[in-house]
Amino acid sequence: MIGRFARPLCLAFAVLALSVAAAAAHPHVWVTMKSELVYAPDGKVTGVRHAWTFDEMFSTFATQGLETKQKGVFTREDLKPLAEVNVTSLKEYDYFTKAKANSKKVEFKDPVDYWLEFTDGALTLHFFLPLETPVKAHTLAVEIYDPTWFVDFTFADKDAVTLAGAPAQCKLDVARPADAPAQGQQLGESFFSSLGANSDYGAQFANRIAVKCQ
């Protein structure tokens, strides 16, 4: 008896809970990125050098009200405080970068060598993300994505990923979300398993880098 009239309400509640559960899942910021994996002379990976170019709308927003010596021209110096804020804020999100060396998770330290440049109406954030400890990696996997998909990361069309100083036998493989194997799962399942397990809803938009050095 309760079931009969509870059913329509169940549906209503489902809609409510569902709509809130993925509350941030719609990108407002688009980033086109280039990444460089940096190796030390001894063949160890030392970190990732990112160059993230923001979309026009966000770039305009971020530079709104900034004081410049010359109107409309933002020098690296003008943008220094903003770069500082960017890098500090990104810490909370682990720089949207995850890495595994030899199938083991590796940690990053705070970024160094960071700066912003403004060209053709777009901001680009440059920063080097050093590994906590450089590691000799037979396999290295790096993923860049926002789990909540507020920020949409896409590799640049050309030279998206490069290796700097890597041993000669290292082979690079880059996978964009579009190249990922067909997901195939129904939303009901994938949606909740992703929310339940690790809330990696954005993981299906992950950009993956793999390096094999045999």
Partner 1 sequence: MMRDAEAGRLLGIGLLAVAAALICCGALDAALAQGNPFGAGPGPARAAGPDGIIGWIMTKQSEFYRGLSGMIRAAKSDGTAVFGLLGLSFAYGIFHAAGPGHGKAVISSYLVANEETWRRGVVLSFASALLQALVAVAIVGIAAVALGATAKMMGDTVRVIETASYLLIVAVGLRLLWVKGRGFLNALQAVTAQPALVPAGPAAMLGAHHDHDHDHDHDHHGAHEGHHHHDEACDHAGHSHGPEPEELAGAGGWQRGLSAIVAVGLRPCSGAILVLVFAFAQGLFWAGVASTFVMGLGTAITVAAIATLAVGARSLAERLAHRRSGYGTLALRGIEVAAAVLVVAFGALLLTGYMVSERMFAV
Residues in 140-169 at the binding interface with partner 1, rule: CB under 8 A? 148-152
Alpha carbons 99 and 133: distance in angstroms, whole number = 12
Looking at residue 153, the DSSP 8-state letter turns out to be: E
Alpha carbons 1 and 125: distance in angstroms, whole number = 60
> Closest approach of Cβ 168 to partner 1, in Å?
32
> Closest approach of Cβ 172 to partner 1, in Å?
21
> Closest approach of Cβ 136 to partner 1, in Å?
21
Which lies closer to partner 1 via its Cβ, residue 42 or residue 105? 105
Who's near 20: CB < 8 A, 6+ residues apart? none
Alpha carbons 83 and 124: distance in angstroms, whole number = 10
Contact between 214 and partner 1 by CB under 8 A: the answer reads no
Contact between 132 and partner 1 by CB under 8 A: the answer reads no
Decide if 78 contacts 148 (C-beta within 8 A).
no
DSSP β-bridge partners for residue 119 = 122
> Closest approach of Cβ 167 to partner 1, in Å?
27
In the region spanning residues 32 to 71, those forming contacts with partner 1, defined by CB under 8 A, are 55-58, 60-66
Contact between 171 and partner 1 by CB under 8 A: the answer reads no
Alpha carbons 200 and 84: distance in angstroms, whole number = 27
In the region spanning residues 72 to 131, those forming contacts with partner 1, defined by CB under 8 A, are 82, 85-86, 89-90, 92, 94, 98, 105, 107
> Closest approach of Cβ 212 to partner 1, in Å?
24
Contact between 187 and partner 1 by CB under 8 A: the answer reads yes
Amino acid at 118: F
